[in-house]
Every structure is written in C-alpha cells, then in structure tokens.
Amino acid sequence: MDYKINNYPIEAVLPHDHPMILIDSLEKYSEDIGCCQVTITTTSNFFDPKLESVPSYVGIEYMAQAIAAYANAHEKDLGHTVAIGFLVSSRKFKLYTPQYSLGAVLKVTVEKLYKDDSGLSAFECKIEQNGELLSEAKINVFQPDDPDQFLAEQ
C-alpha cells in the first residue's frame, strides 16, 4: 500500500476550529485508508480529572474527524478547499474499554468501503493503542458538492 505523508497541519484538513479539533494529526493516508493520532492529555476535550481519562464514547468523534482529515487531505492534494461533511449514522459501534487513559497514544484508522456519486460514503473505523483494539464502528458520512447550498435548503 502506497501511503502519502504530506504533513498537513490538522487545522488545514479539518473544517473545525480549536477547541473542537479533537485529533492531533493525520499521520498518513492512501487512496482508501487514513491514519490519525490522538494523545490523551489533561487538556484533551472531555478529559475527566477524577478518572484521569476521556470516556471511550468520544471515540465516535475521533473517528469522524479522522474521516474528515483523510477526505480533506485528498481534496487539498487536488488543489480544492476543505469542505464540511456530515456524520449520517454509525453501525456496530463497539467499545472494548470504558475510557482512554491519560498518556494513551491512540491510532485512529479509517478505511473507505465505498463512495457513491451523491456524496454518501461508508467507512470501517477502529481505534487502537499499541496494537490493542479499543473501539470500532462502521460510519456513514455525507459530503455534498455544495455544503452551503445543502444547509440553506434544510
């Protein structure tokens, strides 16, 4: 598999601003796969100081942001601008840990299963730490050609 490493800052491939950027970096990507990293710190969004962790259900947003980073890196490679997308649904969201502990370095991998002409895509997603599977889901997203027009019509 040929991975690209363009070293885009995460702010350049996510349509969010801080503090809503929850992932740290897009490490590499290929035609169908993106790999991102999140390190759990005391300043991580949703960090619980009593439990010294982030609840694992936040993983669904880590996955969604990894999909956006992957998709927008491809858009930037083509000279296009970063666009917003919409998380439509998730299936089979499984959590194998109740939380992501302080100091954990999470690998968030998203693999495109398909994309149709309407902008609907499906991804197989997983979060791992040191090769151990912590969370997984199938996520459907929608990226319209013109997000502003789409939102105006809603």
Rounded Cα distance between 149 and 154, Å, is 9
Burial status of residue 12 (CB atoms within 10 A of its CB: 0-12, 13-18, 19 or more): middle
pLDDT in tens, 86-103: 999 999 999 999 999 999
Q: How confident is residue 47, by pLDDT bands cut at 50, 70 and 90?
A: very high
Report whether pLDDT(154) > 90. Answer: no
pLDDT in tens, 107-153: 999 999 999 988 899 999 999 999 999 999 999 999 887 777 777 77
Tokens 């968030």, located at residue: 108
- Note down the domain range covering 31: 10-153
Output the pLDDT for position 6. 75
Output the pLDDT for position 1. 67
The total domain count for the chain is 1
Identify whether 5 is part of a domain: no
Identify whether 115 is part of a domain: yes
Average the pLDDT over 59-84 and give the result: 94
Both tokens assigned to 53 = 């962790």
Identify whether 3 is part of a domain: no
Residues 76/65, Cβ–Cβ less than 8 Å? no
Identify whether 4 is part of a domain: no
pLDDT in tens, 25-39: 999 999 999 999 999
Taking the CA atoms of residue 77, residue 16, residue 66 and residue 37 in that order, the dihedral angle to the nearest 10 degrees is: 100
Output the pLDDT for position 73. 95
Output the pLDDT for position 18. 85
Question: What CATH number does the domain containing 18 carry?
Answer: 3.10.129.10
Identify whether 1 is part of a domain: no
CA 118, 121, 127: angle at the middle one, nearest 5?
Answer: 165
Identify whether 97 is part of a domain: yes
Identify whether 127 is part of a domain: yes
Report whether pLDDT(7) > 90. Answer: no
Residues 9/73, Cβ–Cβ less than 8 Å? no
Report whether pLDDT(52) > 90. Answer: yes
